Amino acid sequence: MYSTYKTIIEPFKIKSIEPLGFTTREERQEALQRADYNLFKVPADKVLIDLLTDSGTGAMSAEQWAGIMRGDESYAGARSFFTFEKVIKDLTGYKEIIPTHQGRAAERILFNIIGGKDKIFLSNSHFDTTRANAEATGAIAIDLPAPGALDFDKSSNFKGDMDLNLLEKYLKENDPGQIAMVILTVTNNSLGGQPVSMKNIREVNKLCKKNNVVLFFDAARFAENAYFIKLKEEGYSNKTPKEIAKEMFSYADGCLMSAKKDAIVNIGGFLAMNNSDWASRAKEIEILGEGFPTYGGLAGRDLEAIARGLIEVLDEEYLNYRIKSVAYLGDGLRKHGIPIVEPPGGHAVYINAKKFLSHILPEKFPGQALACALYLESGIRACEIGSLMFGKNNNGKFVPAPMELVRLAIPRRVYTQSHIDYVIETFENLAKKKNTIQGLRVIEASPVLSHFTARLVPA
Ligand SMILES: *Cc1c(COP(=O)(O)O)cnc(C)c1O
């Protein structure tokens, strides 16, 4: 068990370091203009503290780096694949394990098998690439978050839950053959990194079974979800995160995972399932695009690092530090009156830009405006999750997203408490001059996943 001291320390020491990108305000102003106010286009060496995403940005452990050297690069049947397969089978209990180069490749392969025109995907909330891959097959992706999930000011334990009444309604109203699958995203990334309770998982499973519909997890942050269950759900405080994760997986028919999150690696993903027909079709598609099914677009060394990361992420010292250090950032922002999505999520704190910058209308992208102001102020990079990402253009009419958030995602094992204090101090300063922050206007955007490439100018 951990120390009883109040101070939460990083449960690791630093072996290898990388300098931060210090810049002047003028350099940042120029970088922003060059990037068309799209932070995805700002070169990383002009970023001081990079909170754009927790995806693929984690620091690997000495053991993972050792695994990189141990990697077996045989084309077929590499030893590293069997290590990878064994760890994932042990964790999930699923029979078929298929590596992919990242999460969206797993989505693309799976949805090509089960998606299609007029099929329906139901989720607590689809992640952006998950939605895009479902829609690319002609299917419809519907989000059914629990009531209250969009009430950002109100804190409760499991705001990532799925709305069971709506799920039941959709399952009743549609032919089971029409529902491609139900996907529980753990934790719920799009709505604040909020966890899904075991109770909700169990109930969703029951409804799916009753209606003959398949249930999968989008398991990118399964370990953070498991730890929240341990902390907040009755009956789980004495269980290990691994026992809880295993129970979660036991209620679904399979999962897809971006290993760039809770496997703490820089690249990778996988599909895991019990349905052997789907798995053999998945392997056929895999060979066309990803590679032979025992490496799936990855090197043997990547498989080793993922296998090791999946073990390390379930360590209680790590999860305790992880969840509490994200909460620490939330506490700091709250102290300076910054409205955040309550409570802080597992991997990120989300700022409610609609509320913070209430003088900027949704069509002027308050989330993106805040993210740009944050960068300009001190070189911190964050990600808009609002109308730039999810807004729609309906025959020339702008349809805003239901939320205007800025996500401060915390890379795993990368930044220390003093980095986070710096972020908090930046927001203290921004809060004082928030009325000077102006909105933005899109001058060019692609039809799919436009936030990655859109060009903007000050409105
Ligand atoms: C990151 C992520 C994905 C997509 O994974 P990539 O590895 O980025 O392709 C899918 N779902 C969720 C919930 C994610 O966070």
Question: Parallel, antiparallel, or unpaired: how do β-strands 96-100 and 269-273 relate?
Answer: antiparallel
Alpha helices, DSSP H only, in 260-363?
276-289, 300-312, 316-335, 353-356
Known catalytic residue at 84: no
Domains of the chain: 25-54+316-458 (3.90.1150.10), 62-312 (3.40.640.10)
pLDDT of 394: 82
pLDDT of 2: 60
For the chain, what percent of residues have pLDDT higher than 70?
99
pLDDT of 8: 84
pLDDT of 251: 98
**Confidence class of residue 427 from pLDDT cuts 50, 70 and 90?**
very high
Which amino acid, one-letter code, is at 39?
A: L
pLDDT of 392: 84
* Residue 216 or residue 190, greater confidence: 216
Q: Answer yes or no: is pLDDT of 161 > 80.
A: yes
Beta-bridged to residue 440, according to DSSP, are: 458
pLDDT of 393: 80
Indicate whether residue 269 lines ligand 1 (CB < 6 A): yes
Question: How far does CA 97 lie from the centroid of its chain?
Answer: 21
Lowest average pLDDT, out of 6-15, 74-83, 334-343, 440-449, goes to: 440-449
Tokens describing residue 89:
């089978």
For residue 124, report the distance from its CA to the centre of ligand 1, in Å.
15
Question: Parallel, antiparallel, or unpaired: how do β-strands 254-258 and 269-273 relate?
Answer: antiparallel
First and final C-alpha spacing in the chain: 53
pLDDT of 444: 84
User: Contact 182/150 with Cβ under 8 angstroms?
Assistant: no
pLDDT of 452: 82
pLDDT of 209: 97
Lowest average pLDDT, out of 118-132, 196-210, 369-383, 438-452, goes to: 438-452
Indicate whether residue 283 lines ligand 1 (CB < 6 A): no
Q: Answer yes or no: is pLDDT of 119 > 90.
A: yes
Indicate whether residue 129 lines ligand 1 (CB < 6 A): yes
Q: Answer yes or no: is pLDDT of 152 > 70.
A: yes
Q: What DSSP letter does each residue of 408-433 carry, written as one string?
A: EE--TTT--HHHHHHHHHHHHHHHHT
For residue 1, report the distance from its CA to the centre of ligand 1, in Å.
32
* Residue 7 or residue 227, greater confidence: 227
pLDDT of 4: 78
User: Buried (b) or exposed (e) across 81-105, using 16+ Cβ within 10 A?
Assistant: bebbbebbeebbebebbbbbbbbbb
pLDDT of 3: 67
What mean pLDDT comes out for the span 253-259?
Answer: 98
Known catalytic residue at 220: yes
User: Contact 422/334 with Cβ under 8 angstroms?
Assistant: no
Q: What digits encode the pLDDT tens for the residues 2-37?
A: 667 888 899 999 999 999 999 999 999 999 999 999
394 class by beta-carbon count within 10 Å (0-12 exposed, 13-18 middle, 19+ buried): exposed
What is the overall mean pLDDT for the chain?
95
The residue written with tokens 């993903």 in the block is 269
Q: Which one from 75, 359, 398, 452 is the annotated catalytic residue?
A: 75
Q: What digits encode the pLDDT tens for the residues 370-403?
A: 999 999 999 999 999 999 988 888 888 889 998 9
Known catalytic residue at 153: no
Which amino acid, one-letter code, is at 143?
A: D
3-state secondary structure of 8: coil
For residue 99, report the distance from its CA to the centre of ligand 1, in Å.
14
pLDDT of 1: 55
Which amino acid, one-letter code, is at 226?
A: A
pTM: 0.95
Lowest average pLDDT, out of 205-219, 294-308, 393-407, goes to: 393-407
Q: Answer yes or no: is pLDDT of 38 > 80.
A: yes
Return the DSSP state at 145.
Answer: B
For residue 340, report the distance from its CA to the centre of ligand 1, in Å.
23
pLDDT of 432: 97
Which amino acid, one-letter code, is at 225?
A: N
pLDDT of 423: 98
Known catalytic residue at 419: no
pLDDT of 446: 77
Mutating to test ligand 1, I would choose from 129, 265, 270, 389 the residue with most ligand atoms within 8 A of its C-beta, which is 129
Mutating to test ligand 1, I would choose from 54, 55, 109 the residue with most ligand atoms within 8 A of its C-beta, which is 55
pLDDT of 453: 82
pLDDT of 191: 87
Q: What digits encode the pLDDT tens for the residues 260-280?
A: 999 999 999 999 999 999 999
What mean pLDDT comes out for the span 162-171?
Answer: 98
Known catalytic residue at 350: no
Q: Answer yes or no: is pLDDT of 306 > 90.
A: yes
